[in-house]
Amino acid sequence: MSVNSPEHLLSLDRRQVLRGAIATALPVLGLPLAGAAPAPLLVGGLPVTCNLTLPVACMARATANAADKSGGPKFEYEYSKYNGWPEIKESLMTGRIQAAYMLAPLVMDLADKKIPVKIVSLGHRSGAVIMVRTDSPYKKFKDLTGKRIAIPSRFAVDFLFLRKMLAQEGMTPKDIQIVEMPPPDMPAALYAKAVDAYCTGEPFGAAAQRAGYARALRMTRDEWRNYICCVLTVREELIKSNRPLVQDLVNHVMGAGHWLDEKQDNRDKAVTIAAGRKFFNQDPNIIKFVMENPTDRVTYGDLRMIRTEFEELMQLSIDAGTIKAPVAYEKYMDESFAKAARAATIAL
């Protein structure tokens, strides 16, 4: 076939089109182009203050990278915002993201179903509230018999907190109506009287409280001091392919936790960071309200991973019916990063 023949030219055109299509598709598929720098690790999270260590860690790492003029390779990770647990769970299960802040019982369940994920760090302590309308007569849970109460998910530790509070008054979830709802929708639902109460992580309790139409019926800070909910979870292939990156992320999360609890000025800086469009995209005054009313409404300094606490969570989840049988600790937990962690310096 002649190099100038129509058949050759048509074949050449097809190859060029194919090469162009592949080049166009590579970024969409998340595959690096030849010679391109690796894409930052996307870490999924919800816009809740239980996840506040994540925006701080991301910003601290980016700031450190900008200040580093060595020209050497740098670790990079970015916050990827989700509005509900089903969406973030699906992304982690399918590998669209390799890391996320997840509900601890949900990770246990995923690991038991052979989804290759591991918990590598805590993200916070406390931070959940049960809210009712300011003008409601509700003082105790007996008053909520038959009423509609919203929770983020039956896998959420918020639900376990609600069960604990009901049990104190000899009640069970059968005595109320449970509604699953994304946390950002809860304040409006309470305002519209679509629900009578809701149980969730901050700042969605503070949003309604600061607006004046809701009050806290119970807070984990008063009832369950060692409460944990959101944990940093990564897919096992990331652990196998890039342990240094996972370790650096854990170091920055721990550094962020210490920094947040060190002084109020740091919390004020964190409010400004988290409220921005790159992160929670929320009213900074609402996040600030969480940080100050009271100051230990959510805490971050103690991110120790304690086996007995996770086993308690598992038993509570089994009692709630969200986990069917005990899951081996080693199946969902990788303590090696927390044990090797050196809290990163947060220069913000």
Q: Which residue stretches of the chain have pLDDT < 70?
A: 1-37
Whether residue 317 is contained in a domain is answered as: yes
**pLDDT value, residue 165:** 97
Residue 210 lies in a domain: yes
HEC string of the chain? CCCCCHHHHHHHHHHHHHHHHHHHHHHHHCCCCCCCCCCCEEEEECCCHHHCHHHHHHHHHHHHHHHCCCCCCCCCEEEEECCCHHHHHHHHHHCCCCEEEEEHHHHHHHHHCCCCEEEEEECCEECEEEEEECCCCCCCHHHHCCCEEEECCCCCHHHHHHHHHHHHCCCCHHHCEEEECCHHHHHHHHHCCCCCEEEEECCHHHHHHHHCCEEEEEEHHHHCCCCCCEEEEEEHHHHHHCHHHHHHHHHHHHHHHHHHHHCHHHHHHHHHHHHCCCCCCCCHHHHHHHHHCCCCCEECCCCCCCHHHHHHHHHHHHHHCCCCCCCCHHHHECCHHHHHCCCCCCCC
Domain that holds residue 116: 41-126+228-340
Residues 118 and 247 in one domain: yes
Task: Kindly state whether residues 48 and 118 are assigned to the same domain.
Answer: yes
Specify whether the backbone of 109 is left (phi greater than 0), alpha (psi in -120 to 50) or beta: alpha
pLDDT at site 37: 59
Structural domains of the chain, count: 2
Domain end among 223, 249, 283: 223
pLDDT at 85: 85
Residues 184 and 312 in one domain: no
Q: Output the pLDDT for position 316.
A: 95
Task: Give per-residue pLDDT as tens, 284-323.
Answer: 999 999 999 999 999 999 999 999 999 999 999 999 999 9
Same domain, 175 and 294: no
Q: Are residues 306 and 161 in the same domain?
A: no
Q: Are residues 52 and 193 in the same domain?
A: no
What is the model's pLDDT at position 20?
A: 44
The structure tokens listed for 178 are: 């449970």
How confident is the model at residue 4, as a pLDDT?
Answer: 45
Last residue of a domain, one of 189, 206, 223: 223
pTM summary value: 0.85
In a domain, 168, yes or no: yes
At residue 254, what is the residue type?
M
Same domain, 138 and 122: no
Sign of CA dihedral 7, 13, 15, 18: negative
Are 152 and 248 members of one domain?
no
pLDDT at position 83 is 85
Q: Is residue 287 part of a domain?
A: yes
In 3D space, the residue among 239, 236, 243 whose CA is nearest the CA of residue 114 turns out to be: 236
Same domain, 176 and 303: no
CATH classification at residue 322 = 3.40.190.10
Give a yes or no: residue 136 inside a domain: yes
Based on the fold, state whether residues 320 and 300 are members of the same structural domain: yes
Instruction: Please report whether residue 10 resides in a domain.
Output: no
In a domain, 13, yes or no: no
Do 94 and 168 fall into the same domain?
no
- Which residues, 6+ apart, have CB-to-CB distance to 304 below 8 Å? 122, 338
187 and 133, same domain (yes or no) = yes
Final residue before a domain boundary, out of 223, 258, 278: 223
